[in-house]
Amino acid sequence: MIFLWASLLLYLLMGGADFGAGILELFTKKENRPRTRYTLYKAIGPIWEANHMWLIIAIVILFVGFPEIYTTMSVSLHIPLTIMLLGIIARGTAFAFRHHDPVVDDMQKLYNGVFVISSVLTPFSLGVIAGSAVSSTIDTEAKTFADAYIFSWLNAFSVAVGLFTVTICGYLAAVYLIGETDNATDRKRFIAKAKTTSIAAFICGTFVFITATLQGIPLANWIFGSLVGVLAISLASLSFLVQWYYLYKNGTHNLLRLLAGFQVSMILLTITYRHFPNIVLLKNGKTLSLLEHHGHEKTIESLGWALIIGSIFILPALFYLLYSFRHKPKIIIQQEVNKSSNKHPQ
């Protein structure tokens, strides 16, 4: 369960920031898009594919360790899940093709369009899935297609969580990319984007509370009904204020990244703590619990050892990958980007 929660958090913090880069590109003025693409290519180009590892780990944990939970979610929410997975594929394909396609033609416009649209649809679908899991709208006894596969996720609260997830990804990307700029003008642009996306996240977060109240979802009780929730949301609010202070003062990018990551971590802790161990809240008061609806004891034991041993090998390699490209000479990165730009001047 620790690995499951951690993998979801890391996917949001790292993979979500990658999606956020595409979201920022969508809302960037046309004349600034080449500079934005250069910055995001330099930041996520080497490691964007590795970030999907966290999502794969979460899926494997559910598939192997909690098959009933996995089956219920993958069947009832197969439409947003399919959209999310297609978005991941389309985004990765477009990201690769727009830098390495040897033919210079109007296809670059298509690649750019697919990249930014899928960068929005994927985190939106992920948020919809998360909102549906806790909104008590999944009906495993539904008699019609619409009740079983449409209204299980198509509701105001799930949509609001989807929009909130999109703004969180954009916010993370803006904060992370501040430290990737190499001139004052780009730095100011990403600072402005960090401010804008944080405001958008606050507005969408308010919308989540409103829709939760309208649908009778006890979100306020989950957050403020326990000492852990109150403490976590208080720390998240405090980090939000400190972050704005350092954005105003043009603070160091490493501190801003830590504040952003801490803030999102506290939000996830707040939302998940109160109804733990119930990971899926079904219609008519039924729940799927991590403590009750799990696989055979021997399966859980084997899965636990596999995760521990796998971490010993995978995590050092991942950190070395990040370290290697963090310390890659800027001149080499610039040459790679220039080479791509020469092939696709638009």
DSSP structural state of residue 11 = I
The residue ranges of every structural domain in the chain are: 2-343
Q: Given the structure tokens 């990018």, which residue do they identify?
A: 253
SS3 of residue 290 by DSSP = coil
Note the pLDDT of residue 48. 64
Splitting the chain (346 residues) into consecutive groups of 10 residues, what average pLDDT does each group show? Answer: 91 84 85 76 66 88 94 95 93 82 78 90 94 92 92 95 94 84 81 90 93 92 88 90 81 78 89 87 90 92 94 85 65 48 47
Note the pLDDT of residue 345. 46
Helix, strand, coil % over all residues of the chain, rounded to 5: 80, 5, 20
Note the pLDDT of residue 44. 66
Note the pLDDT of residue 328. 57
How would DSSP label each residue in 85-149? HHHHHHHHHHHHHHHH-SS-STHHHHHHHHHHHHHHHHHHHHHHHHHHHTTT-B-TT--SHIIII
Q: Given the structure tokens 């507005």, which residue do they identify?
A: 203
For 212-218, the CB contacts below 8 A with 24+ separation are 212/157, 212/160, 214/156, 214/157, 215/135, 215/155, 215/156, 215/157, 217/134, 217/135, 217/136, 217/157
Note the pLDDT of residue 326. 63
Q: Give, in order, the Cα–Cα distances in Å from 130 to each of 19, 76, 145, 192, 242.
A: 17, 13, 21, 29, 28
Q: What is the pTM of this model?
A: 0.87
SS3 of residue 185 by DSSP = helix
Listed residue (282, 287, 281, 277) closest to 140, CA to CA? 282
Partnered with residue 288 across adjacent β-strands are: 280
